[in-house]
Amino acid sequence: MRGSHLSRTRTLAAALALAASGAVALSGCGQKQQTVGTAPPPPKKQDAFERRADQIVRSWPKVSPIAGRQQALLPLAGVERPKNTDVREITVTVGHSACDIRFGARSHESKDLVVITGWGKKKSAKGMCAENLATDRVTVRLKSALAGRKVVDAATGKQLLKG
């Protein structure tokens, strides 16, 4: 009989200890609102233009042209001088293949530079193409005003415009 009294006391003491620790743990529950976020997305893999633009920004003004012609980095044939430095659009002339079904221009902006390149997408790898050069004007929208930044061709590394 004596042993059963001790086990009942121990069980009661254990139950009280668990209840007390649970009360302490839950005492802050509902008092503060916590915001739980998701983990940031993994870094986006840079394409050929983004790698080249970062290289130009890091090593400006000592930039050499890229070797060979790449569809993602077509040289620009020219740039129109904007009317003022508050503009957020620049019009460039992209030299692309006459066989391209789509073409355009992209930009990468830093504090001092706006790096721009032309790009083209061919119709098909099959069949013949005369590979004649075509030039077209394309408007590039900037994230912020030109405001005195230099405009650089990503393919050649040459400064096209001093903003």
* Top-confidence residue, 28 or 46: 46
Which whole number is the average pLDDT over 51-55? 89
pLDDT at site 15: 74
Phi, psi of 158 (to 5 degrees): -90, 145
The angle formed by the CA atoms of residues 128, 101 and 69, to the nearest 5 degrees, is: 70
Greater confidence, 35 or 113? 113
Q: Write down how long the chain is.
A: 163
The pLDDT confidence band at residue 2, using thresholds 50, 70 and 90, is low
Q: How far apart are CA 136 and CA 46, in angstroms?
A: 27
Residues 77, 135: contact at Cβ < 8 Å? yes
pLDDT of 16 higher than 80: no
**Residue 153: pLDDT band with limits 50, 70, 90:** very high
* pLDDT tens per residue, range 35-48: 666 777 777 788 88
CA 138 to chain CA centroid, nearest Å: 21
Of 9, 152, 21, nearest to 75 (Cα)?
152
pTM listed for this prediction = 0.66
